[in-house]
Amino acid sequence: MNQAFFDTARRFISQVLLVFLAMLLITSGIWGSPTNLAYRHLFLDSMMIVCLMKKPFSRNRKGLANAVDFFMAVLVLWIAVYVLYDINAYQLRVGSLTRMDVITGTIYMVILLELARRVAGMPMVVIAVFFFSQNCFAQYLPGIFRRANMKYVSMLDFVVMRTDGIFGMPVQVMSTYVVLFMIFAALLEVSGAGNFFINFATSITGRARGGPAKAAVVSSAAFGTISGSAIANVAGTGSITIPLMKKIGYDSTFAGAVEAVASTGGQIMPPVMGAVAFILAQNINMKYIEVAGRAVLPAVLYFACVFFVVDFRAKKMNLQGTPEEDIPDFMKTVKLGWQLAIPLIVLVYLLGVGKSAQYSALMGILVLILVAGCRKWTRMDGRKILKGFINGVSDSMSVAVTAAAAGIIIGGVTNTGVNLLFANQVVKLSHGNLFITLLLVAVVCLVLGMGMTTSAVYISVATIMAPALIRLGIEPLCAHLFVLYYGCICVITPPVALASFTAAGISGASPAKTGWTSFRIGLVAFIVPFIFVYQPVMLMYGTVMEILLCVVTSLAGCWSLAAMIEGWFSTGLNVLERGMLGLGGLLLMIPGLATDVAGIAVVLAGYILQKRRAGGKDGSGRHGQEGGMEKHEG
């Protein structure tokens, strides 16, 4: 049999299973989703086979890949039949596994780890294997990992047979409503919402200086909150915005970096925030809508800083807006696409009034299909709707596999309580110093996040590191959002900055330079999590006046930080002036009267110094660039 046969077989099997999963999730959402092991097994088994078909073992050695992937698919199918044929008897054997239970459980876990390697990278596998095996070899390990050994069979029982490990909370959340939100996002894209967001943003910002870059920021914020994937967002909006940015004069490195940073922010921008936000809400037992509401200000500050950086760069380079012929008419754009906002409004409203996430997602999908049918250009026939369902489930595949593999980590650490011991050790290592603890957690997130998806980083690290922050008295939401933020920004943090590398592929720039430029533009994302841990008022914990004052001063701080990042104000800034604007911006972003007053004073001092030095020079600042960055610096 030739390769074409296997390629066709892969597509057919994956398409059939994707349609099956979409129907399973829709019907379970309508009639009530079972939370038992059988339902979770059926969901994950199907996802694993889809992953085997869509993520080959090797792209170069196709013959080997076909043999390995189809053999593992048969094994997964065999295990599914073995478990589901008499699920009641299977569950009654918990605590007293048969030899066949051990064999099937071991095979299942090995295949799952191999799939995790394909979708999340080797670090995920190493962490999962370590926390599973440390239970079995604990007496030979040092420090907090040392304890009495646990039998392999007992550990396998806990992780595979029960709903505490692989089939624990992350898979439960994925199999009930997260995938439904991904289907909603995919249907929005199929209906043309992506183009509407881009046209809407361009019609608003296009005429301003640096218009295409500002459109990239706005459209990525709008589209990214739905897609929940930085890389998908870069590919979706970047293919349009990056060429436009280059057309008006932005260099390819900066254009790619702006898109990467803006797209990454979509994962932290309410109301949807991507798949991880739902898992976070479940972890801390808080309503999703409350999590989204409290996360608004940090996300706004993130995008505001990027927006200001873009504006300062356009001012420095004396760039104009988008060419008139490329700017969509605002009224025409709104008239054609306003109805696409209705499903989002319905979704947020239902979540706000306390409806379940599953019900809200289903109603959002229904309303979207209905309102999209009102206009010819957004209307979806049966084939488009089916495509949206398939794309939504397919986009969820990597997250589902990652969530299941993370269950091995969760089972490994919770079974022995090593997560709490680890938290104690982190606190001891930092001598109870909150700032040092935060630095340690941030570094762990960034290191583990190299090449991993946001969901993989969050699920893995939150289980181990969030308890260390909570133990120091931090609000659970602050602790988990801190981990989420650093799990998100790892995709723009060198040396493995996947979102930046994707943008570089579109812009034609150096991936390394684009990564470091993204890191610089997205600097505020590294600062904000520290601030809301120390000052929860940034997460809406406080009086109305405290929150309003925090909004105003934080935005002013972002503006000052952006000037520091670009090395430009009304003219180029020298090292001292940039330092003063950076310090002043940081002080303004930290809530509190004393820091606000100090921040204003430092920023004003920096402004006065810069004005005196640049006195008498051209208002464009062309003679004042000695302290600033070069025009086409990446």
- Within 13 Å and on the Cβ side, how many CA atoms surround 104? 21
* pLDDT tens, residue by residue, 256-310: 998 889 888 877 887 767 667 777 888 888 887 888 889 889 999 999 999 999 8
Residue 359 CB coordination number (10 Å): 15
Residue-wise burial string across 27-58, b where 16 or more C-beta atoms lie within 10 A, e elsewhere = ebbeeebeeebebbbbbbbbbbbbbbbbbbbe
CB-based contact 407:159 (threshold 8 Å): yes
- The residue type of 140 is Y
Cα 365 → chain centroid:
22
Output the CA angle 587-593-594, nearest 5 degrees.
Answer: 60
SS3 236: helix
Tokens of 239: 């293919």
Long-range contacts of 470-478 (CB under 8 A, 24+ apart): 470/423, 471/423, 471/424, 471/427, 472/427, 472/432, 472/434, 472/437, 474/434, 474/533, 475/536, 475/539, 475/541, 476/284, 476/286, 477/284, 477/286, 477/291, 477/294, 477/539, 478/532, 478/533, 478/536, 478/539
- The residue type of 353 is V
Q: How confident is the model at residue 59 (pLDDT cuts 50, 70, 90)?
A: confident
Average pLDDT over residues 90-107: 91
pLDDT at position 35 is 57
Residue 485 CB coordination number (10 Å): 26
Average pLDDT over residues 404-423: 76
* pLDDT tens, residue by residue, 338-369: 888 888 888 878 877 777 778 888 898 999 99
Residue 328 CB coordination number (10 Å): 20
pLDDT at position 229 is 65
CA 624 → CA 315, 436, 629, distances in Å?
Answer: 13, 39, 11
